[in-house]
Each structure stands twice: as structure tokens, then as C-alpha cells.
Structure 1
Amino acid sequence: MDVSGTSAADEHARLTVDLKATARQLLGKLGAQGLTLDAVAAGSGLAVAEVEAVFPHRDDLLTALVIDAYNTSGAAMEQADQAAGDAGGSAGARLLAVTRALRQWSFANPAEFTLIYGSPVPDYHAPQDTVPPASRTPAVLAGIVRAALEGGELTPPRRTVPGPPLLLPAAVEAFGGLPEAPFSDIIERGIVLWSNLIGLLVFQVFSRTHDSVRDESAFFDFAIAVAAEGIGLVVPSGAHTD
């Protein structure tokens, strides 16, 4: 009989949270390649069998950490977008707000950032469960681009994609359809913007720009404004803080 007042489900949920917290701490010390159930058990003061009861394999634990990283970073962007929209910000202001939010999350959680945007973990293959969380970041960007298009905030491009669209049907469906000319390649341009954002963050989180620029925060804002020009969107200048 359970006399503790805590159900088995509650205990399992508590243990899951605790084990993931330990694993996140170990990520920063060992990296994803060095993360093992033995290490998590030792770090948690538990037997390996107790850890395996929650995460039977290392990949199950990695998947949980990947999902959490995508969800927390995506939520940070969504909240920033909501705040910028509620303040009456333009699409450009919203873009700056959400990219700053992702930057702030990335610097606050470098191990998790490395897990989802760094080198692939050998012998780990992310399952389908990770796709919806991973889609939150591009979905925020796509929503801003779509709002800019519908609000007449985009300048038509001088260069267009030659030939047929370079897109898979799923990308067109996710955006809500293929826009008409002169913005028929806006989805491709949005993917370029997305890849520029992640590449810029990789450079900054992994200290690739610290010896090249005097103010990395200001440089980030500048780089986002330059990248936004590729979709015909103006990003307003504003105060920046590290």
C-alpha cells in the first residue's frame, strides 16, 4: 500500500525531471557523446536500474533533452513575438525580438544549444517525436514573414529563384501556400534567413566572432538586419544589451 501520499505516476514524473536536470548538468561537462546512463545514475545518487526504469536507453534520455531544448527555445521565441506584437511592433521589430530571444536562450543554455545545433551525436538518430518541437523555431519565423507579406511590409526582390520552386510540398503547406509573384520565392528566402540565424548563433556561442567584432550584441542585430534584407524586410535599429 502506498502510504506516502505520492502516487507512482507522481514519483515517476518527479524522477524524470530530476534525471533530466542531472543530465543537462553533465552535458556541459561530458558533451552528448560522453553522456551515459551510468554517469546520470552516479550524478543522481541512484542505481543504474532506477535510471533505466525511466530512460531504458541513452537515446531515450537524449531524445528527452532534445525535445526539451527545442521546446524551451521555441517558447522563448513565441513569447518574445507575442510581446512585440502586443506592443504594436512591425514585422521587422518582431523578427529582431524573436532572434534576440533565441540568442539569449542559446547563451544561457550552451550545452542544450550544442545538442540541437552542434555536431550530430554519433550513433544517435532523432526520432519523429523531435520533429514538432524542432518546428517551433521555423514556425515563428514563418509567421513573421507571412505577416510581413500580408501587411505589405516587404520590398520585392531584385533576384528570384530561377526555374521551378526549390521546395518540398511540406514546406509550402507549412507556410500556407505558395505566394504569388513578386514574392513567389519568399519561402526559399525564409529558409535562408533561418539558416543565417542558426549559423550566426553557432559563430557567437562557439566564440567565432569574439576576436573580430567589438560588440557582439550589436553585431548580432546588424547581421539580422542584413539577413532580413534578403526577404525584403526592414529591421529597425534599437538599443542592444549583452
Structure 2
Amino acid sequence: MPTTPRARARAQTMEDIVRIGRDHLATDGAAALSLRAVARDLGVVSSAVYRYVRSRDELLTLLVIDGYTALGDAVDAALADAPDDPREQLLVLARTVRAWALAEPARYGLLFGTPVPGYDAPVEQTTAPGTRVILAMQRLFARAHERGQLTAPDPLPVVSAPLTGSFAAIRGEFDLDLPDWLIVRGVTLWASLFGLVSGDVFDMYGPETFADRDELFELQLGALLDMLGFRT
């Protein structure tokens, strides 16, 4: 926590800039973000904002980190109250991601929607917050496997040496005990989950195609968990 008045004032200004940036993201979209507009709402001249945020891209990065952090915090809080069962925890995680995305469509769109033209998120700043939910899922996959809750495919899929190396790097980086087949299925579940959520957030289904999207989502989750290998 900032300890001096100047540090506290700077931290508060940064919080205000991110908050105002979120408001503009929701009303104007990521591509239209403007530091000049943020300065106007902050009540300062535009040159003053550049002492805190040097460019539109830097503001976008702050908003990306803010969004990933908010989503990760929501998932962590939900999992802390979930039953000690990997299958139930995966359901809680998936429902939480969807609920957050529907409540925060602009922030979700910045993270998982159409890339902002001319902007590349700096990996050194965004990878850690951006992989929190993915890592939480991987740990739940590993826990389910350790408890014998998953059925392996028979026969096991044949994985090439280069891809096996990629899987080994993932296991080493995150200290996970995941066989190759479960990494394949886990990545499939992860990509499918965010595809389903994007379908809802961006209204890809159309307004009248399905009578109950909540029910549809639950049925889709059940199918994904069956695919992962949970014993029935």
C-alpha cells in the first residue's frame, strides 16, 4: 500500500483513470478510447494525464490487466465457497465466467473479443493475470485425475514428439501432473467454454433461437465434462 501522501494521491489518480477508462470502454468501445476524453472526465488538462499514462495503448493495457484481474478474483471467490469436488468446482468456475462476462460485456469483449486495431498487449504484463482462470482449470483437471474421477481414452491418442514437448513444458511451468490426453481434452474444454460464453455475450445465436439459454449452457457444460472423462 502507498505510504506517503504523494504516493497515495498517485495511486488514487491511477484508480480514477482506470475507472473512467472502464466507463469509456462500455460507452464508446476499445477502439475509440481517448486519453483526452479521460482527462476531461478526470477534470484535468490532457497533458496532466500523460504524467500517469503515456499513451492510449498503455491505458488499454491497464484495462486489460484490470479485466483479467476482476475475472480471476470472481472465479477465485466462487471456488473458495464451492464443494471440495473437482467436477462441481469446474461447474462453478464455468458459471462464474459466464455470469461475469454477461455482467461486463465490454470488459469481456476487450479480453476475448475482436482485437483492437494497432494494439498488441504486452505479454510481460498481461500473461500472469490473463492465465489465472486457465491455471485454475488446469489444477482442477489435475485434481480430478489424481482422485481417479476421469476415464482415459482407449486407445490413447498418438501425440507427436514436438507437441509432447509443448505439453511437457506446460507441466513443468505450472507443476501439474497431467497426462498428454488430459491436456488435449483440457484445452478443448477451455476453448469450448469461452466459445460458449462468447456466443452468449456477442449474441451469436440470435435473439429467438433458443428458449432458455441458461438451460442450454448447463446442457453444454454437462457435455464438456463428459468429454473431459468424468465417470458417470
Q: How many pairs align?
A: 225
Distance 2:202 2:41 in 1: 26
- 1:220 corresponds in structure 2 to 217
Distance 1:45 1:177 in 2: 49
Identical aligned pairs, as a percentage? 31
- 2:171 corresponds in structure 1 to 172
**Could you tell me which of 26, 29, 32 is aligned with 1:31?**
29
Runs of at least 5 residues in structure 2 that lack an aligned partner in the other structure: none
Matches within 5 A, 1:83-162: 83-84=81-82, 87-88=83-84, 90-127=85-122, 128-158=124-154, 160-162=156-158
- 1:239 corresponds in structure 2 to none
Contact (CA 8 Å) 2:74, 2:96: kept in 1 or not?
Answer: yes
Distance 1:23 1:156 in 2: 46
Contact (CA 8 Å) 1:77, 1:98: kept in 2 or not?
Answer: yes
Greater CA drift, 71-80 or 192-201: 71-80
Q: TM-score, normalising length from structure 2?
A: 0.90
User: Post-superposition shift, 1:211?
Assistant: 2.5
RMSD: 2.0
Distance 2:76 2:41 in 1: 33
Distance 2:155 2:170 in 1: 21
Distance 1:232 1:78 in 2: 24
Q: TM-score, normalising length from structure 1?
A: 0.86
Paired letter, 1:155: T
Contact (CA 8 Å) 2:102, 2:201: kept in 1 or not?
Answer: yes
Paired letter, 2:78: A
Matches within 5 A, 1:6-17: 7-17=5-15
**Could you tell me which of 172, 180, 184 is aligned with 2:180?**
184
Q: Indicate the structure with greater helix content.
A: 2
Runs of at least 5 residues in structure 1 that lack an aligned partner in the other structure: 1-5, 236-242
